[in-house]
């Protein structure tokens, strides 16, 4: 399964848990989500902007993305931690692949 599909499945599972009220986002989760989203928007650019960057710069942005998610993960627990760790795991796999690319 490719990275996009893994992330899509993770997001679908999280959305289902929220719809089923298995996972109820509390105000802290919502605030953390907003902060992480802001941090990610500062690092991630549209695909066409990323593609023109040298590989080393793309890898640096990937590391920054991992840092944003790791900081968010360190500040939470429960289902939010499950979700963030899944995203981190997927990106860490990509990061390992990029080193050899």
Residue 98: pLDDT over 80: no
Of residues 6 and 2, more confidently modeled? 6
- CB-based contact 76:84 (threshold 8 Å): yes
20-40 average pLDDT score: 91
Of residues 87 and 27, more confidently modeled? 27
Give residue-wise pLDDT tens across range 43-57.
887 878 878 889 888
Instruction: Round to whole Å and give the CA distance between 12 and 7.
Output: 9
Residue 100: pLDDT over 60: no
Instruction: Round to whole Å and give the CA distance between 89 and 53.
Output: 24
Residue keyed to tokens 């650019």: 45
């Amino acid at each position: 399964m490719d990275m996009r599909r893994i992330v899509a499945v993770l997001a679908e599972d999280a959305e289902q848990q929220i719809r089923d009220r298995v996972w109820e986002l509390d105000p802290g989760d919502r605030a953390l989500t907003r902060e992480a989203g802001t941090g990610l928007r500062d690092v991630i650019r549209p695909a066409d902007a990323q593609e023109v960057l040298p590989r080393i710069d793309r890898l640096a942005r990937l590391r920054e993305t991992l840092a944003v998610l790791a900081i968010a993960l360190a500040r939470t627990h429960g289902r939010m931690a499950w979700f963030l760790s899944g995203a981190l795991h997927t990106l860490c796999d990509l990061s390992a692949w990029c080193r050899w690319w």
